[in-house]
Amino acid sequence: MSQQDLKNLIDRFQGLKIAVWGDFILDQYLYGLTRRISREAPVLIISYEKEEYAPGGAGNSVLNLSALGAEPLPIGVIGDDEAGEKIVSFFKQRNIPVSSLIRLKNFKTPIKTRILAGEENTRHQQVLRIDREAIVPDKENLLRRLYEHLQKAVTKCQAILISDYNYMTVKTRLFTSLIQACRQHRLPVTLDSRFRLLSFRGVTIATPNEPEAEAALHMEINKDSKLLIQAGQLLLRRLASQAVLITRGSKGMVLFERNQKPFFIPIYGSTDIVDVTGAGDTVISVITLALASGSNFRQAALLANYAGGLVVMKKGTATVSPQELKNAISS
């Protein structure tokens, strides 16, 4: 497959409608200067500088898709609260539709607060993360509303991306009905699941990182290539999927397909990674767009590897542009 073939795929990303069903989180970043050690306890005193907000979780996949020229459709549940309003406002400012985001009373939008600190004129490092978590309830009326949005998405989107952070927006019984509808419409369904990987049989492709694969299979790979291959093949069978892409950080990726030898892809760019936050969201976004554009799994994985290599060199949850991706392919 030539470089030009991959670049042509990127051009086909423009205007693709991709539904993103998952857990929408507000990412909060608090920045400060490190001053001294407290006399009250052996902890840093951080002088507050500023704070920033961005959609996280499934929201980061939405932003990645949008940055690559697609038209994402977020489907999920947020609270009728300030954090939920920040997510809605962020999307509206970028012309991303919010009609399929359900504002639920008495539900608190999950928030991940990252505290980043450093001395003046130095790069700030993450020193602490605080998670305010919430589980989406099993209410019949809520499930019905969610499924109505999913049914509409099947008829007007070119793929469904599932972004599961274990806050239970992605209900397995809704998934079972959705996957049948997607098969009828021949829509790719891609999966990024933190803790429930094996709960979603029948997806087109799943993109776990190595620790997620180990946790799902209750095994340790420990840099053993034979165990890695065994894990990938086990996931293929248990998920009944067409492909599985295991991401391995600085060691690159491995693609597993039915009746094919494992396809090992070395990391693109430097192994001196700046920040892995949100890299998985970038990878699955590119995989989804490539498959929706008609690519095969190897082409999709290669493109995702370029994108992942670019985004881990950026600070925080970041995105890549079509031109950045094309430049990476040419380099």
Structure tokens at 295: 């690519």
Cα distance between residue 54 and residue 150, in whole Å: 24
Which member of 23, 27, 192, 281 is catalytic?
A: 281
Residue 204 contacts residue 179 (beta carbons within 8 Å) = no
Is residue 188 a contact partner of residue 204, using CB atoms and an 8 Å limit? yes
Task: Determine how many CB atoms are found less than 10 A away from the CB of residue 171.
Answer: 17
**End-to-end Cα separation, the chain, in angstroms:** 16
Question: Which tokens belong to 43?
Answer: 């902890």
Return the closest-CA partner of residue 19 out of 188, 167, 227, 216: 188
Is residue 81 annotated as a catalytic residue, yes or no? no
Q: Is 240 left (phi over 0), alpha (psi -120 to 50) or beta?
A: left
The catalytic site residues sit at 281
